[in-house]
Amino acid sequence: MKVLSFLLFGDLAHFRKFYTTSSPLSFPFPPPPTVRGIIGAIMGFSKEEYLQKTRGISVGVSLRSPLKKVRMGLNLIFTKGSSGKFDPTLIPSRKGDINKTLRTQIKAEFIKDPLYKIYISGEENFLEELAQLLKEHRTYYTISLGLSELLADFKFDGIYEGKSLKMSSKVDSVVPVRLVREIDLERPQKIGKERVPADMDTDRKVLSYEDVIFNMEGESLFGKFEGLIELENGEVVYLWRQNQASTPTPTSS
């Protein structure tokens, strides 16, 4: 199999966690559906079709820089103004200016100076078209790191031959917990764990979530891992396929 990889980076990133509302927190890296959205933006797929058009590819992601988080205040504007039907501000002294422009401030979490490596496997024609765009530094739509204001940059890395491994002593990407058989406790490793959306349908409804671990220093994880892909450049990564994750969608009680 062939695996394409490229670097994705920027000043700030925010991939909102699904369980946060008024004080948004961010995933440390773009979850698999977000990676598909970035690929769709590069190749010109619309918001309505990118999940369908990327269904045949597998995606992976790794952190290539230490994880740094910052929190900043955002001044949000209620652009619909004040009305009798819906008024988000009930305190008279906070009704906004003369034009009834309502504002509220929230704290949001951002990833600072993020650097990711994205891995894509799929049909040869798909990879060649994507590689050409990446080499020429062209995209059909502007790509961002979660929010439209957080513009992203990228750099093509290469296309490598990959082979399946039954067991590996290291992994260079984010990896599902279900594939971890052992962690090397003799090595100093700063390990992070998250539950991320792994698959979406074409209506953008999350079908499954996955518990994953990663090295917070942007380095390899060491231990024993199953179901990985070894690239000819020596990297060992995990690639998500749609409808592959086994963790069911959480339900409210």
- Give 212's Cβ-side CA count (13 Å radius): 30
The vertex-40 CA angle with 36 and 42, nearest 5°, equals 120
H or E segment at 169?
A: strand 168-171
> Do 4 and 130 meet the contact criterion of CB atoms below 8 Å apart?
yes
Q: Which residue has the tokens 């980076």?
A: 9
Token pair, residue 56, equals 């045949």
Q: 215 is written with which tokens?
A: 């090295």
CA distance 209 to 192: 16
State the virtual CA torsion across 149, 175, 200, 148 in degrees, nearest 10.
0
Q: Which domains, ranges and CATH numbers included, belong to the chain?
A: 2-70+108-237 (3.30.70.2660)
From 12, 214, 218, 195, select the one nearest 110 (Cα to Cα): 12
Q: How many residues does the chain have?
A: 253
Residue 246: predicted pLDDT: 41
Write down the pTM of the prediction. Answer: 0.86
pLDDT (tens digit, 0 to 9) for every residue of the chain, 253 residues total? Answer: 999 999 999 999 999 998 887 789 999 999 999 999 999 999 999 988 898 899 889 999 999 999 999 999 888 776 655 555 555 555 555 555 555 556 778 899 999 999 999 999 999 999 999 999 999 999 999 999 999 999 999 999 999 999 999 999 999 999 999 999 999 999 999 999 999 999 988 788 888 999 999 999 999 999 999 999 999 999 999 999 876 444 444 444 3
